[in-house]
Amino acid sequence: MLAFGVLLLRYPNAKYANLKFWWAVLSIAGGIVLLLASWFYRAQMRLNSIFLYHSTRLVATNSSMVLYVPVFILFAFGLLALSIFEFLSFWSIPNPEFSPLKPFYTAHGRGYVFLSVLVFIQLYWGLAFLKEFFSFCISGNAVAWYFGRQACNTCYNPVFRAVRFHFGSIVAAGFMIGFFSIPEFIVSLIKVHSR
């Protein structure tokens, strides 16, 4: 980023000169921030490099784990599509009424706000469940690989274990982590951080 900013300053152009100057200033400032952060967090970066080394060895040994990513994305979009369909179906239940004073049909009904809140809770809890389920499966593969179990060459064993033995725990974890992270986030915004 520093080199990009210096090159922008070194080779000025009459066209968009002001914009290029601010891009150069932002690039140089971002580069300085990255250099300072890499200096202050060098111990954390060394630890993360160890984790990255072992995770690349895990994925190289068990390359079928890469399938978790598109499957997770597919399930997340499926849940989102289902929630949108439910939301639209709840709000299309009553018979529309036409008033000559309003250009659009209006739907009136009771309880549709409550059903919409339930759909939102379903979506939020479902996304939290999916995150915890796939975290369980990835960590199951990592544990099987690290401790050298024989059946660590497939990504189906942790999924089978999760569905058969730990499904309720994963649902409860999705609920607790999903819904308790909201107040934790609000408190972390309000809390004064001291160093």
pLDDT at 150: 56
Model pLDDT, residue 173: 93
Dist CA 11 CA 21 (whole Å): 11
pLDDT tens digits, residue range 143-177?
A: 888 887 655 567 788 888 899 999 999 999 999 99
> How far is the C-alpha of 136 from the C-alpha of 124, rounded, in Å?
18
Q: How far apart are CA 74 and CA 63, in angstroms?
A: 19
CA distance 102 to 100: 6
What is this structure's pTM? 0.65
User: Given a cut of 70, is residue 93 above it in pLDDT?
Assistant: no
Give 94-125 pLDDT, tens digit per residue: 666 666 777 766 656 565 778 888 899 999 99
Would you state the structure tokens that stand for residue 131, as one six-digit string?
A: 């995150």
pLDDT in the model for residue 76:
95
What are the angstrom distances between the C-alpha of 155 and each of 65, 128, 148, 188?
Answer: 6, 21, 15, 36
CA-based end-to-end distance of the chain: 29
